[in-house]
């Protein structure tokens, strides 16, 4: 019985899907950056890798969060700038304003607890290979009732 070589995904559909889902983050942030800010009760928990390429975090914040951190965009955020491949925002830490900037590829989770909407992203393969130790599992979003978050995961589309 001859072994068949599995087909090669030269279209890189999994990466295309992740890029499209990151576009959802960009669109939500574009609305938040508009004159009316974040509408209604919506607010965002954005978790990102602090040492990912293109991330700019002040040294004192990086020392406190050397791998990953979560920021909340709700009432007190300033100068939200949304670009095609990255965004930046000013937040206060201990009463001091600090600017954080990152590409969308650094985001590992985007969660809007007001509607239980969650996007979770995998670490790109090239970063997984570069890591010496496995990355810790991201924290679960805060519980808010009986209904769990609506998770959009690419696992359901993978061949087993």
User: Tens digit of pLDDT for each residue in 5-16?
Assistant: 888 888 989 889
Of the ranges 3-12, 48-57, 62-71, 95-104, which one carries the lowest mean pLDDT score?
Answer: 3-12
Q: What is the mean pLDDT of residues 55-62?
A: 95
> How far apart (Å, rounded) are the C-alpha atoms in residues 136 and 105?
18
pLDDT at 15: 87
**Confidence bin at 145 (pLDDT 50/70/90):** very low
Structure tokens at 128: 């997984």
pLDDT at 53 over 80: yes
Q: Which of 10-19, 21-30, 48-57, 105-114 is the least confident region?
A: 10-19
Q: What is the 3-state secondary structure (H, E, C) of the chain?
A: CCCCCCCCCCCCHHHHHHHHHHHHHHHHHHHHHCCCCCCCCCCEEEEEECCCCCCECCHHHHHHCCCEEEEEECCCCEEEEECCCEEEEEEEECCEEEEEEEEHHHEEEEEECCCCEEEECCCCHHHHHHCCCCCCCCCCCCCCCCCCCEEECHHHHCCC
Q: Of the ranges 51-65, 67-81, 146-160, which one carries the lowest mean pLDDT score?
A: 146-160
Mean pLDDT, range 89-114, rounded to an integer: 95
97, pLDDT greater than 80: yes
């Amino acid at each position: 019985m001859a072994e068949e070589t599995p087909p090669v995904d030269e279209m890189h559909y999994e990466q295309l899907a992740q890029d499209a889902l990151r576009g959802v983050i960009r669109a939500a942030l574009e609305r938040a950056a508009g004159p009316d800010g974040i509408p209604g009760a919506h607010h965002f928990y954005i978790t990102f890798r602090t040492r990912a390429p293109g991330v700019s975090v002040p040294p004192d914040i990086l020392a406190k969060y050397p791998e990953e951190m979560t920021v909340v965009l709700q009432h007190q955020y300033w100068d939200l700038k949304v670009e095609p491949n990255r965004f930046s925002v000013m937040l206060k830490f201990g009463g001091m304003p600090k600017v954080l900037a990152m590409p969308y590829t650094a985001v590992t989770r985007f969660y809007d607890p007001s509607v239980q909407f969650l996007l979770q992203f995998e670490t790109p393969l090239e970063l997984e290979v570069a890591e010496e130790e496995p990355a810790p599992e991201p924290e679960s979003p805060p519980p808010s009732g009986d209904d769990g978050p609506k998770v959009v995961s690419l696992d359901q589309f993978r061949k087993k």
